[in-house]
Amino acid sequence: MRLPHRSRRPTPLAVLAAMALACALTFVACGPSQEEQAAAARAEEWAQIEAMQAELNEKRQALAEAVETAQSELEVAEGESIEEVRAAAEERVRQLTSEVDDMAATFGERLVAFINDDPMEVGAEPTEVQLGALRMKSSEDLLIAEEFIAKGGDWARAGDIVERALAIDPDNPDLLAKKAEIEEMRFVTQERFERVEKGMTQDEVIAILGPVNINNIREFDDSNLGWFYRKDPDTEGGAAGVYFRLRGGEWTVETLDYEAIKAQDE
């Protein structure tokens, strides 16, 4: 009589191998795909960029407060302590300025890389993150443009920055508003120039005519200088002059000349 066939029981080693294979197959079937991993990495990068922007804005605010504090300290300083106060204030501002510049450069490079890693398709609706990154880039461009105006009166350079930003973010209301402001303020008009009056401070002149281009300032001596504002070369040309005199430690308007520099003298 033949005995019924009995299958051989697997050895413990075979059992372990089968379990390992099952686990591996389960991981492949249930683990994140490459697309999911890429999406998760991009989400993490976006979160870090947002955090970096918040940190940068805090640093910029600290710099602005340091400038205000320095001005306040100089106003109350007296005698020999003025130079010490000035040196300490300038060092604080210099250090914060350096930190802001370095952080802004790193942030800008990282943001541009993020945008370029997943560019928007022409005609396609941008994702929420794509639009957020683009608007973040536009905000940085605006800050850079405003800095060129505030620190050097470079309306032309600021205009170029805004135009480039509008090329990729054409519906941004802040960019459009800044473009309109630059177009209005880039060249002086007689109407605006006539609002400036003798005795005004430099800040009051800036409020009307805007920051003067740093290359258009002339120092005649220790107590006399001139600011020259360009007129539109397509209509008038030349430049209007605002002449200041130093009195009691403050520069005030001494004379005004809308025809200070004729067009043919440029």
Q: Which domains does the chain have, with CATH numbers?
A: 38-185 (no CATH), 190-265 (3.30.1450)
- Which residues make beta-bridge pairs with 230? 239
Site of tokens 């340091």: 66
Looking at every residue in the chain, the average pLDDT score rounds to 87
pLDDT in the model for residue 74: 74
What mean pLDDT comes out for the span 164-192? 96
- The span from the CA of 6 to the CA of 180, in Å, is 91
Tell me the percentage of the chain whose pLDDT exceeds 70: 86
Q: Is residue 204 packed enough to be buried (19+ CB in 10 Å), middle (13-18) or exposed (0-12)?
A: middle
- Give me 83's structure tokens: 């130079």
The predicted pLDDT at position 13 comes to: 54
Q: What is the mean pLDDT of residues 202-229?
A: 96
User: Could you tell me which residues come within 8 angstroms of residue 190 by beta carbon, excluding any fewer than 6 positions away?
Assistant: 258
3-state secondary structure of 143: helix
Report pLDDT for 256: 98
pTM: 0.77
pLDDT at 153 over 80: yes
Q: What was the pLDDT predicted at 6?
A: 46
Q: Three-state SS for 261?
A: strand
In a 13 Å sphere around the CA of 212, the CA atoms on its Cβ side amount to 22
CB 136 within 8 A of CB 103: no
In 10 A of CB 92, how many CB atoms?
A: 17
pLDDT greater than 60 at residue 9: no
Amino acid at site 266 = E
227, β-bridge pairs: 217, 242
Q: How far is CA 90 from the centre of its chain?
A: 22
What confidence score (pLDDT) does residue 79 get? 65
Query: What per-residue confidence (pLDDT) applies to 162?
Result: 97
Instruction: Judge whether 262 and 251 are in contact, CB under 8 Å.
Output: no
Q: What percent of the chain has pLDDT over 90?
A: 69
| 245: confidence class by pLDDT, cuts 50, 70, 90 | very high
Q: How large is the average pLDDT for residues 47-73? A: 92
Inform me whether the pLDDT recorded for 113 exceeds 60: yes
Flag whether pLDDT at 70 surpasses 50.
yes
Task: Using pLDDT thresholds of 50, 70 and 90, give the confidence band for residue 82.
Answer: confident
Sheet arrangement for strand 217-221: 217-221, 224-230, 239-247, 250-261
